[in-house]
Amino acid sequence: MAIVGEIEHVTTYRYVKPVSFGTHRAMFLPRRGAEARLLSWSAKTNVPSKIHCISDSRSNNVAVLEFSEPRNELTFTFRVRESISA
């Protein structure tokens, strides 16, 4: 029997003045071969950004976020839906 789980994670950073953001990496997806099977995922920000997914040297799924303009607030919203073998 499989259990379907959904996770939403939101993080907000606030700054007094606008700042430029470097490349961010977020590891919020299950590792390949884990008991969990990824059904869907999304990553969003309130700042215009380019988002893509890579695998690191330990087979972790990593979302890479690159930002195009300075802001005084940055919010990440990650959503994951997975099936877990019970």
16/51 Cα distance (integer angstroms)? 26
pLDDT confidence of residue 62:
86
pLDDT per position in the chain (86 positions), as tens? 778 889 899 999 999 999 999 999 988 666 555 677 778 888 899 999 999 988 888 777 888 999 999 999 999 999 988 887 76
Number of Cβ within 10 Å of residue 71's Cβ equals 18
74/57 Cα distance (integer angstroms)? 28
pLDDT confidence of residue 58:
78
CA 30 and chain centroid, separation = 11
Q: Are 74 and 13 in contact (CB under 8 A)?
A: yes
Local structure of 11: helix, strand or coil:
strand
pLDDT confidence of residue 35:
72
Domains in the chain with CATH codes? 2-85 (2.60.40)
